[in-house]
Chains A and B, each alone.
Chain A
Amino acid sequence: MIAVTAIVLSLSACKKDKELPEADENELITKVSLKFTNVADASDIATVTWADPDGEGGVAPTIGTLNLKANAAYTFEVSEVLNETATDPDERNVLNEINEESDEHLWVYKPNAGLNISLVRTDKDENNLEIGLKGTAATGAASSGQLQVILRHQPGVKDGSETPGSSDFDALFPVSVN
């Protein structure tokens, strides 16, 4: 047995100890920020950020709280989508890519029941379907809850509804309206 194992060992010993590949998560998103601007007062800006610098697994993501005024009108935009693990700047800035492929993406905003906020997408792609990178938000009476933000990736199947495709991003942001 030793002889056989030795033969096999010697035949395979020529393989070098390879380096581990760079952790390359093509579709990774480590940071998403949303920026809300008060229509009545352009200096009143609320930004909220979701961050998971070590990617899937490891440490759980940190999520900020979105603080908005009651009974107010806002415009909002997705201000930042990053993959901070990527070294290539194009790969790092996921937002640019989503902009370029707006006909394959749809942002979905779902406030939970009891949270007095309604969001409307205002931007359209080349097929006249909504994208959701920009929109307007209207708050009602003071309340708190969670806003679910979903990025749907719908290559070749986008029809304006949330259903087709799969989720590239899906997170719950705590929201406080007061």
Chain B
Amino acid sequence: MKNCLRLFLPLFIYMIPYVAVAQNCDSMIFGTVRDGEDKTLLPGAGLLIKETGARAATDTDGHYHLHHLCPGRYTLIVSYIGYTSREIKVTLNGQKELNIVLETQRQNLKTVLVEGVRTELKPLQVSSRLDGKTLEMTRGESLGESLKMIAGVNSIQTGPTISKPVVQGLYGNRVLIYNAGVRQEGQQWGSEHAPEIDPFIASQVTVVKGASSVMYGADAIGGVVLVEPAPLAYGNGLDGKINLVGMSNNGLGALSGSLEGSPDKNHHFSWRIQGTGKVAGNARTASYYLKNTGLREYNGALMLGYKNKSFTADVYASSFNTKLGIFSGSNVGSTEDRNSAIGRAEPLKIYQSNLNYDIDRPYQEVNHHLLKFRAGYELPSAGTLNFQYSYQQNYRKEFDVVRASSQDNYQYRFDLSTQVADVFFDHKPVLGLNGRAGINGIAQHNYYDGAYLIPFFKSYSGAAYLIERWSNKNLELEGGLRYDNKWMQAKKRVIPRDNNSPVERPEFNFDQVSATLGAAYNLPLGYRLNATLSKGWRPPSVNELFIEGVHQGNAAFERGDRNLREEASLNMSAGLSRQSGKITGSVDAYRNQIDGYIYLQPQLDAAGMPIFEITQRGGFLAYQYVQINARFTGLDAMLSYEINQHFTLTGKFATVKAINTVNKDHLIYIPADKITGIVRYALPDTRLFKLTTIDFTAIHVARQSNVRDDQDFTPAPAAYTIFDAAIASSIPVARNEWNLSLSISNLLNADYRDYLNRFRYYSADLGRNITLRLQVPFGNKHQHIIKKQNHD
């Protein structure tokens, strides 16, 4: 019958040329699931689309999303422990909000039907998410850049091309990044090492704020960034998407495309390929270009999936390749170079350049390759057993300005390989408890070539953990426990730069227990209270133990300390949030005590004068990794008020204080207070433009006045305010819905410097940038469904 209908399809399409609807499979249903009586949100409720088998579960806020649906009529089955399941007929065409209410099944809890449905388990604690249109509006930016719109998330930058996320004041090794479910293991030997991830691959980026070591592993004492591609679609036909981005400031052009399909009739198999190319030239501040700040990036990914009733398996392979220019004016050979560069109001004219795409020394070349295999087997009455193995290879080459004889060589080359194996079991409810038990093993090898900065090392880690969650109508409780052990052996010469020095192999063994305890309580009117207490830890990284040498761009001689111990953190956070209604938003307060916090300290002699390390290029300020006790306290807030169907006001605020509790000094490189205001105007749909919005944004960043001037090379830069504007719309074209947007950042071309940009010493931050984005979906999926719809 279906085949027969398919034959007639072209005829039908011909007959209905004016029904310009979104027939690509990019439709989605989203909304909330609530208790029918007191209207509280229900986290962990299962949703199933009967026709396609697509599944989802509501997140901790009771929200769900079902992406990648073709237009058509569906039956949505909603179920939740202790509630009567519901079947809801939905006609879907584009985006649809569907808020579902479930009625309590009071008489017999034992007969509850629980769908074996679970989205990726996430901790109960505070998290923020970028997805849908919000994420689309960051396309073309680096991961670090795009996360900056979340309150409490910043990025520490090294010029315009390199940025790393900062979560509640913590960054680097303390913020783990999970890319497609794999713990990203790149080189993190400095803040000029950006995450090696193509953000185009993500359909959702979640930031879990605060220590989340139990679920994500030791190290995650600052937070976790989850970069998640859309789940593979198991449906008919081919489907794809092309993203185009152009930026005026640095002449950036980005093209990203994906294609996916399910080749077999029964939809047991699915595949997707994705590729991104990105080229940018010199970036421009308000009044001059920055020479040698271009970049090139070429990425690709392949996903293959298989699923039947109780077994799922997938393979994920990706390759990230980039070449990043580093601003020529930051190439300081000596302390004197640096001081004179810092002293200038703007960089020398010869470093101001024009818009071109040349990348000269200094630059970085980074490649990151990932291969992942995952399988899950659903045991009929017990739960789902999952296995995952991943292999990552990271290469980083750094090229400095050198004399001709070395012109063909890199100065530093690192080669890091990481294998991770995970086995975990998501069990079905036992005594009202839902949870996961798992074990994890990591093996890592690092080699270098060229000059010494960090040694060879190998490390092996093992972990075991258990997380359980209990919930009733209004209260959710979560508890977790984890044990990690890490063994590491370095290999280096006693005097690293001396070929005649003997080889040594220092060994390390670190182990600790992490724990977490969380609670959430649903108040009337959709308000939700939550609080988390978690204990985490982080073993010192190899650079903190053994780095020895001058880092480019900051003219500082850094030394590690092999006697460093683990960092241990105790993180408390509490928040109030509301996800629906005219007023929505969240306010989260936190306090993160870190004992043995490791940081680079400038070395002073007995008289309080800086110590210089004498080299051929004069004296470099000596820095040493030391341990202190630190306390991070802060507040992140986001509040939206929907005035009417057209106007929405949003405000965001974040503040954090980080104190060395030993000497009461404030720590350096902590984000300054930031306040953002957004006015959104939603236009009524027209035949040509749908879902059109206009946004005006004002961002004010205060001066970081907590640090004393003598704690840094220069005093913290002044406060600044910048304005952004954007217009976005969906345009029905042929049988698809194209998304088009135009946004302008730094509308008034303000001249400013940001405290978290390490190149603020040498140049101003970016000037006005106009970005044009176009997303073109295409595909021919589920045409028979469309046809059926026309019959109805």
Contact = CB atoms under 8 A, between A and B. Distances in A.
A1 B464 contact: yes
Contact of B443 (A9, A17, A21): A9
A163 interface: yes
Contacts of A100: 404
Interface stretch (A68-76, A127-135, A153-161): A153-161
A4 B440 contact: yes
Interface string A46-65: 00000010111110110000
A24 to B, nearest CB: 6
B348 A54 contact: no
Interface in A79-115: 85, 90-91, 94, 97-98, 100-101, 104
A17 B184 CA distance: 25
A27 B406 contact: yes
Interface stretch (B249-257, B492-500, B722-730): B492-500
Interface in B505-523: none
A8 interface: yes
Nearest to A17: B491
Contacts of B492: 20
A101 B616 contact: no
A139 to B, nearest CB: 25
A52 B616 contact: yes
Contacts of B348: 163-164
A170 interface: yes
A26 to B, nearest CB: 4
A147 interface: no
B464 to A, nearest CB: 5
Interface residues of A, number: 57
B496 A23 contact: yes
Nearest to B550: A56
Contacts of A98: 403
A2 interface: yes
B216 interface: no
A170 B334 contact: yes
B336 A18 contact: no
A28 to B, nearest CB: 7
B401 A57 contact: no
Interface string B295-332: 00000000000000000000000000000000000011
Interface residues of B, number: 63
20 contacts: A4-B422, A4-B423, A4-B439, A5-B443, A8-B421, A9-B443, A20-B456, A21-B450, A23-B452, A57-B496, A57-B557, A61-B615, A100-B404, A153-B333, A163-B348, A164-B348, A166-B401, A168-B333, A168-B616, A170-B336
Interface in B609-655: 613-618
A8 B419 contact: yes
B499 A23 contact: yes
Contacts of B616: 28-30, 32, 52, 55-56, 61, 168-171
B49 to A, nearest CB: 35
A160 to B, nearest CB: 12
Given A1-B462, A27-B403, A57 B548 contact: yes
B5 interface: no
Nearest 9 Cβ contacts at the A-B interface: A166-B333, A170-B618, A167-B333, A26-B406, A4-B441, A5-B441, A167-B334, A1-B439, A56-B615
Nearest to B335: A170
Dominant SS among interface residues on chain A? loop
Interface string A1-43: 1111101110110010110111111111110100000000000
A8 B441 contact: yes
Contact of A7 (B333, B421, B550): B421
A61 B439 CA distance: 52
B488 interface: no
Dominant SS among interface residues on chain B? strand
Given A23-B497, A57-B497, A166 B334 contact: yes
B449 interface: yes
Nearest to A4: B441
A52 B615 contact: yes
B498 A153 contact: no
A19 B166 CA distance: 37
Contact of B419 (A11, A18, A29, A60): A11
Interface string B413-441: 00001011111000000000000000111
Contact of B337 (A17, A29, A91, A166): A166
Nearest to A94: B403
Given A55-B616, A61-B616, 5 more contacts: A26-B409, A30-B616, A55-B497, A101-B404, A166-B332
A165 B350 CA distance: 10
Contact of B617 (A4, A156, A157, A167): A167
A29 B616 CA distance: 6
B551 to A, nearest CB: 12
B451 interface: yes
Nearest to A91: B405
Contacts of A171: 616, 618
Given A20-B493, A153-B403, A155-B401, A168 B617 contact: yes
A22 B350 contact: no
Contacts of A25: 451, 497
A12 B493 contact: no
A26 B402 contact: yes
Contacts of B332: 166
Interface in B373-428: 389, 400-406, 409, 411, 417, 419-423
